[in-house]
Structure 1
Amino acid sequence: MAKLKANFNHFCNLLGYQFNSKYLLVQALTHRSASNKNNERLEFLGDSLLNLITAEFLFQKFSDLPEGELSRLRSQCVNKDSLFKIADSLRIKDYIQLGVGEKMGGGQNRPSILSDAVEAVIAAIYLDSSYENTRRIVISLLEQYIVSEIKYSSTKDPKTTLQEYLQSKRYHLPVYVLIETSGMAHDQSFKIECQIKELHISTIGIGKSRRIAEQNAANLALQKIGKTNE
């Protein structure tokens, strides 16, 4: 138990926050496979807090951007990929509490489990302290990902560009279909088909997440149409 406490102290140092209630931290890092007292409810609250704090940050930083552009930036900044990067930097896989079966299946490396734990930790900070404290920690954790996305804010992602082009031509929106998932749970690869029936276009995108695979498929569709991502 002393070793566990030392590990959690190290985690708190990486996080930049020392918990008053160790119970909240333990619950935030407990997967449903390990206990009935798990992080699912905290994950629900943390997701809302994360979106609110990010929206507030973008709203204040970019006072001239319209609602649609702010929404696009938020979706780029807050997603499973960025949360997994944060989980990796905090070494959450070393602290997450899993059931025996989940652990044997490599759950400690599964992006969905680790990104959910990040949201749960955010909620735990909020319940343990205050909104302002939570905001400070979240901005600190997300800033490098927010900044990297904002650098390319003038460039729309391929899915957005494709959707806007099709809408301008009064075509139906593209359909994205999951064709195949391969690899181990912690290192999966997704194959997504982008279908544009009116143009008789079908492209295949591959990526480490569904989001990346869809973007790659959309980019290939744009190339077939002869329109570059702008």
Structure 2
Amino acid sequence: MFDQERINDIQNMIGYTFKNQELLEQAFTRRSYSMENGGENNEILEFIGDAALNLVAVKILREEFGYFNKKKQQNPNYYYRWETYESTFSSDKDEGQLTEIKKRIVRKSTLADAIDDLGLQNYLIMGRGDRKKHVEQSNSTKEDLFEAIIGAIALDTSWDINTIQEVVENIIDIDDIIGSDEDSYIEEIQNWSLKHYDVLPDYSVCNYLPSEMNFGTPDWASPNSMWTLMHSSKRGEFDSNTKYASLLALEDIPCWFIGYGHSKNMAREEASRLAYEYLDDQNRLWTIQDEIENPCKKMAVNQLEILARRGYFSLPTYDFYEEYDEDGNPIWRCECHISEEDIYYWSTASSKKDAKKDAAWGMLKHVLDMEEN
């Protein structure tokens, strides 16, 4: 059913060439088709792919956040010689944090989005019922297809975990998932780059071991190479636990940032820290004041909400109280409060709308640190 052109298209998209191309076709064959026409479908491959994907996710997290502690022991044959060896295993994240990140990697929406981005659901081989219901548009169907592809690759490679991992990382943006884990310098730099240039920053990561020659590693990874003299850069420190180096380049910034760490994520985090401190020194960090181009009383309610939805603080609350003047006319008092602030801003007006607008304007000037007129 798959001609060679279609097979080649799929293989190019996922970054893997099958030795047994019938496994690739099986991965795209739904049960509805096999019920009508016979042959195998992709359900058993889904089962295998689910297990393989979980294993790959754990391996990725081990590489990103895990490392062996190093110890020294005296060589029994040489009194003055000490040897370094790997001892216990540690992680930058605890079990709960690792579990949450793993869930994000293997969850349905992640897998479905990856299939959708490549348009692989359009190659599904389906029966009449599935075609009539357009099940290829379902996230569950896309998730099944992703797992079936991984299961087919697992069988085709005799469970070569490194090859399976390469394909997963080709299809899923793992760095984006891991980088969104928590408040970090990585997240700060990603947000800065997106707000200024609408692109994510460019990271390069490679193995780098201080005690070895590191043949084949890029010149930028070594602090003693000619590259350091030829390029403006800021470089972190490394020690005996260093295993990775990360190079960070930012749009329109005449400096490169190089971090070292015992995990890939730690190296990226260090490079991001150097970049953050550089931007801070140059007064180029994006601040809350940059979010609102023209603060004004007329738009104060909406502008406060914009800042809240961008994560600067929680949504403001407004409390209203009705009072009356000497002539019995209603006067509205509005109090604006943000839970992260220890201050209330209030205003009175003949209408609730104007009282709310004035109270919001007072709070907006406060959070933007604007001088009172």
Same fold by TM (over 0.5)? yes
Count of paired positions: 157
Q: How does 1:123-142 map to 2 (within 5 A)?
A: 123-129=151-157, 130-142=160-172
Give RMSD over aligned pairs: 2.2
Larger radius of gyration: 2
The answer to whether the 8 Å contact 2:14/2:170 transfers is no
- 1:89 pairs with 2:117: yes
Which structure 2 residue ranges, 5 or more long, are not aligned? 67-91, 184-316, 318-337, 341-373
Q: Encode CA deviations 1:156-196: one digit per residue, 9 max, x unaligned.
A: xxxxxxxxxxxxxxxxxxxxxxxxxxxxxxxxxxxxxxxxx
> What is the percentage of aligned positions where both structures have the same residue?
33
**1:4: how far off?**
3.1
Correspondence for 1:54 among 54, 57, 68 = 57
**1:151: how far off?**
2.2
- What's 2:142 paired with? 114
- What's 2:20 paired with? 21
The answer to whether the 8 Å contact 1:11/1:90 transfers is no
**1:139: how far off?**
2.3
The answer to whether the 8 Å contact 1:59/1:70 transfers is no
**1:93: how far off?**
1.8
The answer to whether the 8 Å contact 2:30/2:41 transfers is yes
Q: Encode CA deviations 1:193-222: one digit per residue, 9 max, x unaligned.
A: xxxxxxxxxxxxxxxxxxxxxxxxxxxxxx
Between the aligned partners of 1:108 and 1:149, the Cα distance in structure 2 is 25
The higher-RCO structure (CA 8 Å, 6+ apart) is 1
Structure having the higher helix fraction is 1
**1:227: how far off?**
8.6
**1:102: how far off?**
0.8
The answer to whether the 8 Å contact 1:31/1:98 transfers is yes
Correspondence for 1:151 among 171, 175, 179 = 179
Structure having the higher strand fraction is 2
Between the aligned partners of 1:134 and 1:99, the Cα distance in structure 2 is 29
Which residue type is aligned with residue 43 of structure 1? E
- What's 1:184 paired with? none
Which structure 1 residue ranges, 5 or more long, are not aligned? 156-222
Q: TM-score, normalised by structure 2?
A: 0.40
Q: Encode CA deviations 1:100-123: one digit per residue, 9 max, x unaligned.
A: 111011112121111101101001
Q: Give the ranges of 4+ consecutive aligned residues of structure 1 lying more than 3 Å apart after TM superposition.
A: none
**1:140: how far off?**
2.4
SS at match of 2:6: helix
SS at match of 2:3: helix
For residues 62 and 103 of structure 1, do their structure 2 counterparts lie closer, same or farther at Cα, with a shift above 3 Å needed?
Answer: same
